[in-house]
Structure 1
Amino acid sequence: MSQPAVSKQEIGFGGELHTVQQLAARYGIPVQTVYVWRMQHKGPRSMKLGKRVFYRMEDILAWEESNLEPKSA
């Protein structure tokens, strides 16, 4: 089962953050793939808080938007 997103109140941040596991579940890919993307500077922008890696929803959506196929005529 997926963990709830970390709330902005918990971390004093202006948006919703998601874990590596949540991102992997969103795309139906292995967690290791998300870590590989991060090492290769692929995938959504990430941030590290302490030892944990998080993804802002705005960065996830921006990355998805940038990967859309162009509209067919």
Structure 2
Amino acid sequence: MQNSEFLTTAQAADFLGLKKGTLEIWRVYGKGAAFIKMGRAVRYRREDLERWITDQKRTHTA
């Protein structure tokens, strides 16, 4: 984890093209990308966000 880039919720939301509040709600419901709690601070690793994006890839709507 030495080379991981940690992003704030606002930075992660910007990276994903979402609102900060969306990520905050997803955290409550256990949805979205993995995050890390550092004390009271929430951080997202860029590599986790990229992996989450890849995992969302679908070939159909069903």
TM bucket by the smaller chain?
A: 0.7 to 0.9
Identity among equivalent pairs (%)? 31
Asked if 1:19 corresponds to 2:13, the answer is no
Q: How is 1:1-73 mapped onto 2 (pairs within 5 angstroms)?
A: 13-14=1-2, 15-70=4-59
SS of 1:55 mapped into structure 2 = strand
Counterpart residue type for residue 50 of structure 1: G
Higher relative contact order (CA 8 A, sep 6+): 2
Letter in 1 for 2:12: L
- Partners in 1 of 2:59 and 2:24 — Cα distance? 28
Amino acid at match of 2:7: H
TM-score where L is the length of structure 1: 0.71
Q: CA RMSD in A?
A: 1.6
Number of equivalent positions: 59
Give the structure with higher Rg (CA).
Answer: 1
Q: What is the TM-score when the length of structure 2 is the normalising length?
A: 0.81
Deviation of 1:55 after TM superposition, in Å, equals: 0.5
Partner deviation per Cα, 1:6-43 (whole Å, 9 max, x = no partner): xxxxxxx5111111001111233221111001111111
Q: Structure 2: which 5+ residue stretches go unaligned? A: none
